[in-house]
Structure 1
């Protein structure tokens, strides 16, 4: 199948595996011993006494010279926790409920000058304090904000806490675009990709990793089609052998208003190449963000490689965020994530055996093996409703460790990434995106490419089938429901039914993103049987985004998710969906979005 050939050509996973004979630092060949990979994210120690994890962050990254004269903001987080996460310090609280335990007296200063002083509640999240940028000279290097908090409500002497934050105030760009990160929501803000002017608007990035050579390079009309289908970005996969065609594609993307996610996967550890590429591309009006490491944890790239690239890119540009994707469930996550603004996950669990490697004929465990879905779990024993039709991995009943992949591996991966950001103190400054699977094959695919001047050939037999359109939607919603703020599927070209399903979802997003990117909205999560649900409540409206992970019809009552169901509008459906007034019903792997008005 040609689309999977493109997918493999765009990935370093197999090449690195053939060369290093490890993936996620785990041996996977039958001839190799079991050696624990190490690199696990440390579990924060529990505390029997309360701790205050006082944190601050600029509300926007970057501010520009043109923003001077309008209010800026700093976000204060003051969670009271019982685990030793980054920066958490003991706090002697007043007895009684936390809501009546007093406030923090917070002062934010720059170079000894107070910018703002205010009282902030305990357990606040993204509590915004306004200040003026007047007198702050724009420069390419960030300033360092000092945030100090005093808690004096208890009978003991005042307790003090400190944190710091980067404040980026850049000169106005003369001939390039700017992508801002709204740290209140994690949204990217950009002016229209056409470069013809306009206001900054939140962008929900949705668009495929897209093959250049042999696809976009010879099919310029594909750009127009992707725009018509509702996608907002194109992530062009290198290599770019025909630079004339490449420039034509970028020009056409700008003309139709599509943003560029620029990929340096093969060269991000080559400083000279990174400098050349950044200096060539950074002036593009439709550049949204950079992309460096493609599964660097899988290939065990040097632990500081992503940070070196990140610092270099910011020294050359500074106006666009940096992204990467991690494939491993838990291998040196903090080291690789340190070098990015946006960390993506790519759990591929459809059509492969997640506990026994079709490729290497070995088992897969936390210490050994490569099943194409690192440390993924099978569906629960006996859960026949979660088994795709025509699955061959089980008999009359579903055993434990059946190998049938679970959609909850996607939500668990996104949620674990979000949790780790909180543990590290990065929850404001970094965002999580998701990479749904849009490929698969019942046939082996030959990969032929050069690595270290050697011709290597490998055969891929991980994924035995391609997801259906409805399954593609389930993957995407499982990521979004648990905090992903972008959807970048691997890979295009892909079957028409996947593209149609993805287009339908993309075209519905303008009705959904006002809830995702509303700093005042509150997200809540529910699981009703096999239906994963998230709600975003804002003022008198609540967005309900639901997806059925089962292959049988499932029913959810509005009462199950704390709503009465009155004034319901279906703003998106995938598969068989019915709203009966007191409940809604989702057919096999069906999905829906409703706006419920109170």
Structure 2
């Protein structure tokens, strides 16, 4: 990155000078670039560090001009990314301190613990919902890990299914709102309450839940008591603009159509980041995005647009049924700018979510910066959730994620050397270096089936080949969800993905090529298979092959997402050779999504994933063929099938650890267990 924070294209610094009327860049005594503009100070990692790029803008600015601009900017301070130094001329690897900030994995417990938790089913409820059903969700998992709020529980001998129930009382601001009996070891058990007992208000209510358990015998002989707290948002109806609710049963967003007319429906956001002026210069691009099946656009403001231009672009999105994410990456630490922008844009009916920190962990923004912005936005609005994206694999996750309802991940493996920095000729380790994919692992030694065609070899692939592995995408989503479970956020926060849709720009030393269209699908579906509920790619314009495959998936999603957003569906994950499979089982239907992470053909039998395959109907396909006994996937091919739910069949296929907070079924022979797994350890089993 030359002159701007992460995700800013290095060549945009020159555009910024022109667009913002900046006379010339200068540096402070520590070599940090200071940009005098409404955006304030922009921290500047070393020149030539290209992190993201789009070909269309590069075509309008020659690389020689860019490099000349970079040479003008001294950078004497040793820089870090994800807390790790990467430039040996500023900080030799031998002298570099470790980054710190690693997530503390909860310790195991030899005795059972109750992780009692409660949240409202919907955030926010509105005054207009007062006559509708409302509920509090109770989670009562018996766990063997010291996750947030887990307390010792004495249980009778025998199965948990016969261990009795919790007597739960729900209070708001000290007033009892509802009571109910809740089984032990369940998730999302609903206790209904009457919203009419409350008065809509701007500030959230304090929600308190108390559980009494008499099934076991405590040392004192008295009932065991557990407590949990949360907040309940019950807002006045908005005077104008739309509302985005979160269904905390599933993490799905609920919104009215982009024009504000109609009922609330689940939204799966799929679309691209794109520069605002790119859209403003050709409004028909917005029409095209809608026709291609995308549901959302994430505009980035590299300059201050006119109000007329804003009205044209966002109005055109609204007409086409497209939502937008409002990006405040440059301003989220400036309270005055945040206030002005939230007040200016909150009335748009197609505003879906706010967006604050753009890789704040990478640039080591103040640890409380995202939370400060989050609180301010909720004070100003409260009707739309807040999102951000984290780039680091494990760097102060809890601090940065605290400031969002939606935490996005951006793992970019295609065209990257994940072992060696080509920019600085250093290794990338857990304590040093920046390879564009933080703490990512290469494909395993000898696994030639996972080699992209450009890297095909007749000899076994060595260890530390530097060739990125698709597993890092699914691992990142899973680890984010695991951490949320550990700190008690599994219901109040969701994970989205930022699939890679760029690479191969001349001069880029991080990503030597862009993904093929089928690789983009693999990356996107891996996120979905492991719990991601949104896909906003960096960035558009993108290669035609990616756009075509992305459109095909977007158009197929309305058939797929009802399974993702069904609170009763059970997701099971399998690994069959190199094929990542997720199965969502509902009462009458089953969804199977399969992704070949190898570059050679792979076959999967239906019984490998515990379904008999009768009546299977393909709803999405990129390089697949269905047979009576299963299906085959070409290299990096993907497919989705819907079939009638039937009796599980035996399988010896390995099952992957599930995303935290998601119920899943594992079969061993014909014995079925339901469990939640976190950090590789079983939390609860029934």
| Same fold, TM-score > 0.5, yes or no | yes
Aligned to 1:577: 624
Q: Does 1:46 align with 2:108?
A: yes
Residues in 1 aligned to 2:384 and 2:81: alpha-carbon distance in whole angstroms: 31
Aligned to 1:22: 80
Task: Give the SS at the match of 1:489.
Answer: strand
8 Å Cα contact 2:7/2:358 also seen in 1:
no
**How far 1:8 moved relative to its partner?**
5.0
Q: 1:432 aligns with which of 488, 492, 495?
A: 495
**How far 1:241 moved relative to its partner?**
3.3
Task: Give the SS at the match of 1:374.
Answer: coil
Residues in 1 aligned to 2:608 and 2:159: alpha-carbon distance in whole angstroms: 28
**How far 1:203 moved relative to its partner?**
0.3
Residues in 1 aligned to 2:540 and 2:287: alpha-carbon distance in whole angstroms: 15
Q: 1:125 aligns with which of 183, 187, 207?
A: 187
Aligned to 1:489: 537
Aligned to 1:447: none
Aligned to 1:60: 122
Q: Deviations over 1:99-126 (max 9, x none)?
A: 1111111111113322211111111111
Residues in 2 aligned to 1:565 and 1:332: alpha-carbon distance in whole angstroms: 44
In the superposition, relative to structure 1, how do residues 395 and 587 fare at CA in structure 2: closer, same or farther (>3 Å)? closer
Aligned to 2:203: 141
Residues in 1 aligned to 2:12 and 2:271: alpha-carbon distance in whole angstroms: 16
**240-249 or 373-382: bigger deviation:** 240-249
**How far 1:10 moved relative to its partner?**
7.3
Q: Does 1:97 align with 2:159?
A: yes
**How far 1:562 moved relative to its partner?**
0.4
Q: 1:272 aligns with which of 333, 336, 339?
A: 336
Residues in 1 aligned to 2:373 and 2:530: alpha-carbon distance in whole angstroms: 29
Task: Give the SS at the match of 2:440.
Answer: coil
In the superposition, relative to structure 1, how do residues 163 and 339 fare at CA in structure 2: closer, same or farther (>3 Å)? same
TM-score, length-scaled by structure 2: 0.82
Residues in 2 aligned to 1:327 and 1:17: alpha-carbon distance in whole angstroms: 18
Aligned to 1:181: 246
Q: Deviations over 1:396-429 (max 9, x none)?
A: 2211111110001000000000000000100000
Q: Deviations over 1:320-344 (max 9, x none)?
A: 0000000000000000000000000
Aligned to 1:457: none
Q: 1:518 aligns with which of 553, 556, 566?
A: 566
Residues in 2 aligned to 1:305 and 1:522: alpha-carbon distance in whole angstroms: 37
Q: Deviations over 1:444-492 (max 9, x none)?
A: 1xxxxxxxxxxxxxxx310000100000000000100000000000000
Q: How does 1:398-413 map to 2 (within 5 A)?
A: 398-413=461-476
Q: Does 1:310 align with 2:374?
A: yes
Residues in 2 aligned to 1:516 and 1:509: alpha-carbon distance in whole angstroms: 10
**How far 1:15 moved relative to its partner?**
3.5
Q: Does 1:381 align with 2:445?
A: yes
In the superposition, relative to structure 1, how do residues 90 and 221 fare at CA in structure 2: closer, same or farther (>3 Å)? same
Q: 1:343 aligns with which of 407, 419, 436?
A: 407
Residues in 2 aligned to 1:286 and 1:296: alpha-carbon distance in whole angstroms: 26
Q: Does 1:443 align with 2:498?
A: no
**340-349 or 42-51: bigger deviation:** 42-51
Residues in 1 aligned to 2:375 and 2:594: alpha-carbon distance in whole angstroms: 39
Aligned to 2:643: 596
For structure 1, the 5+ residue unaligned runs are 445-459
**How far 1:7 moved relative to its partner?**
5.1
**How far 1:391 moved relative to its partner?**
1.6
8 Å Cα contact 1:321/1:341 also seen in 2:
yes
In the superposition, relative to structure 1, how do residues 90 and 6 fare at CA in structure 2: closer, same or farther (>3 Å)? closer
Residues in 2 aligned to 1:46 and 1:117: alpha-carbon distance in whole angstroms: 32
Q: How does 1:319-398 map to 2 (within 5 A)?
A: 319-391=383-455, 396-398=459-461
Larger relative contact order (Cα-Cα within 8 Å, sequence gap ≥ 6): 1
Task: Give the SS at the match of 2:271.
Answer: coil
8 Å Cα contact 1:268/1:292 also seen in 2:
yes
**How far 1:208 moved relative to its partner?**
0.2
Q: 2:263 aligns with which of 199, 212, 219?
A: 199
Task: Give the SS at the match of 1:309.
Answer: helix
Aligned to 1:70: 132
8 Å Cα contact 1:13/1:299 also seen in 2:
no
In the superposition, relative to structure 1, how do residues 10 and 282 fare at CA in structure 2: closer, same or farther (>3 Å)? farther
Task: Give the SS at the match of 2:254.
Answer: strand
**How far 1:347 moved relative to its partner?**
0.2
**How far 1:247 moved relative to its partner?**
2.5
8 Å Cα contact 1:381/1:399 also seen in 2:
yes
Aligned to 1:544: 592
Two-structure CA RMSD over aligned residues (Å): 1.7
In the superposition, relative to structure 1, how do residues 442 and 226 fare at CA in structure 2: closer, same or farther (>3 Å)? closer
8 Å Cα contact 1:180/1:320 also seen in 2:
yes
8 Å Cα contact 2:171/2:209 also seen in 1:
yes
Task: Give the SS at the match of 1:390.
Answer: helix
Task: Give the SS at the match of 2:370.
Answer: helix
TM-score, length-scaled by structure 1: 0.94
Aligned to 1:553: 601
Residues in 1 aligned to 2:538 and 2:319: alpha-carbon distance in whole angstroms: 25
Q: Deviations over 1:523-568 (max 9, x none)?
A: 1100101100111101121000110000000011110110001000
Task: Give the SS at the match of 1:590.
Answer: strand
Aligned to 2:664: none
Residues in 1 aligned to 2:338 and 2:545: alpha-carbon distance in whole angstroms: 37
Q: Deviations over 1:493-536 (max 9, x none)?
A: 11111111100000000000110101111111001011001111
Aligned to 2:99: 37
How many pairs were matched up?
Answer: 576
Residues in 2 aligned to 1:74 and 1:116: alpha-carbon distance in whole angstroms: 9
Residues in 2 aligned to 1:245 and 1:177: alpha-carbon distance in whole angstroms: 21
Moved over 4 A (4+): 4-14, 17-20
8 Å Cα contact 2:599/2:636 also seen in 1:
yes
Aligned to 1:242: 305
